[in-house]
Amino acid sequence: MDLTDQLNNYCERLGPEFWSEPVNAITNAAFVVAALAAYLLWRRKTPDDWVALFLICVVLATGIGSFLFHTFATRWALLADVIPIVVFIHGFLLFALRRFLNLHWVMSVSIVIGFFVLSPMVGEVWAPLIGSSAGYLPALLAIFVVGGFFYQHDKALAKQVLLIGILFTVSLTFRTLDGPVCIQLALGTHFLWHILNAAVLFGLLRVLILHRAG
């Protein structure tokens, strides 16, 4: 496997050129905006919370990595796209379990390790139906599960987590539809995944920050 191999994963891409996915590439600015908005909130509410700052940086890296993938469209760019997403999912889950549900570190780490091991299996089961979007189903389920248990501790913030889960469902739907609607809509729908998913990540960071701020 050559890291410089060209990939053609999305409807908008018609060739190997750098700007073959202009809308998919440009809409990654939504992640930069999400990271900046979360950073300003962090500065105002919890400037001593280094966990939140780290996750904010990961969101910024997500936007950069996704931009690289939708421009260079190579295997190395795919890694730059995927790795920050994986880091955010597992990092946020770890601290959500610790902070929102008050679980012990040992229990929290054990759950995250189990989540990491089992997630690919879930993706394989659902991949024939929804393609590569199946890899995000465990993250979607985790949002609703954590939000449900969190409801016993903080109803207001838990409702926000559950609403974010609904938004993520819509976002994931647009990601899944990119291929099936390609014939009717040459632009595809992946760019909507970028915009809505940036809102999801900001929403999660906002809950994390507000919870820490009390």
Instruction: Tell me the pLDDT tens digit for each residue of 138-148.
Output: 999 999 999 99
Say if residue 97 is exposed, middle or buried (CB neighbours under 10 Å; 0-12, 13-18, 19+).
buried
What's the pLDDT at 3?
Answer: 87
Whether 99 shows a pLDDT value over 90: the answer reads yes
> What tokens appear for 76 in the block?
């190395």
Kindly state the average pLDDT of the residues 15-31. Answer: 96
What's the predicted TM-score (pTM) here?
0.96
* Three-class SS state of 14: coil
For 13, the token pair is 């891409």
- Provide the residue ranges of all domains of the chain, joining segments of one domain with +: 22-213
Looking at residues 121-134, what average pLDDT do you find? 92
Dump pLDDT digits (tens) for 46-59.
Answer: 999 999 999 999 99
CA atoms of 162 and 203, how far apart (whole Å): 11
The predicted model gives 157-162 an average pLDDT of 98
pLDDT band at residue 175 under the 50/70/90 scheme: very high
Rounded Cα distance between 157 and 100, Å, is: 9
Phi-psi group of 172: left, alpha or beta (phi > 0 → left; psi -120 to 50 → alpha; rest → beta) = alpha
Rounded to a whole number of angstroms, the CA Rg of the chain reads 17
Q: H-type helices in 22-74, by residue range? A: 22-26, 29-45, 50-72
How does the average pLDDT of the chain come out, rounded? Answer: 96
Confidence of residue 1 (pLDDT cuts 50, 70, 90): low
Residue 195: how many CB atoms within 10 A of its CB? 17
pLDDT score of 62: 98
Domain spanning 22-213: CATH 1.20.1070: yes
Extract the tokens encoding 131: 């393609």
Which of helix, strand or coil describes residue 73? coil
Using pLDDT thresholds of 50, 70 and 90, give the confidence band for residue 193: very high
**Mean pLDDT throughout 169-196?**
96
CB 67 within 8 A of CB 25: yes
Confidence of residue 15 (pLDDT cuts 50, 70, 90): confident
